[in-house]
Amino acid sequence: MILSAANAAEQLEEAKKLFLVLFENESMLAEIYKPHKIDLQQPHDQDEVYVVINGSGRFVLEDQVSDFKTGDFIFVKAGQRHRFQDFTPDFSTWVIFLKKPKEV
């Protein structure tokens, strides 16, 4: 399966949302995320990976602040406080949530 960033952006715009789930299976969930001016997300129950599609800015992970740009890979462990800030208007990112295996 291939997800096109351009097609994902079109779907997100049509949905008029900040994020849109584009793929899900037993082990992961993938979405596109494009916050508007402010990133209001809270810590999540799953580990997550961001792969920046467009734009740049600063990423806050707990008490650490780092610059990011198009193409960067960002890992966030479950429960960690994080957010994007001072990002460019064209900023968008893939978000991949890693699901915990179900106990048998």
pLDDT in tens, 8-67: 999 999 999 999 999 999 999 999 999 999 999 999 999 999 999 999 999 999 999 999
pTM check: above 0.85: yes
pLDDT of the residue at 104: 61
Q: Where are the beta strands (DSSP E) in the chain?
A: 19-24, 28-33, 47-54, 56-61, 64-69, 73-76, 82-85, 92-98
pLDDT of the residue at 103: 65
Please check whether residue 68 lies inside any domain of the structure. Answer: yes
pLDDT of the residue at 95: 97
Please check whether residue 104 lies inside any domain of the structure. Answer: no
Q: Looking at the predicted structure, is the pLDDT value of residue 7 above 80?
A: yes
Please check whether residue 41 lies inside any domain of the structure. Answer: yes
Q: What is the CATH number of the domain that holds 61?
A: 2.60.120.10
Q: For the chain, how many structural domains are there in total?
A: 1
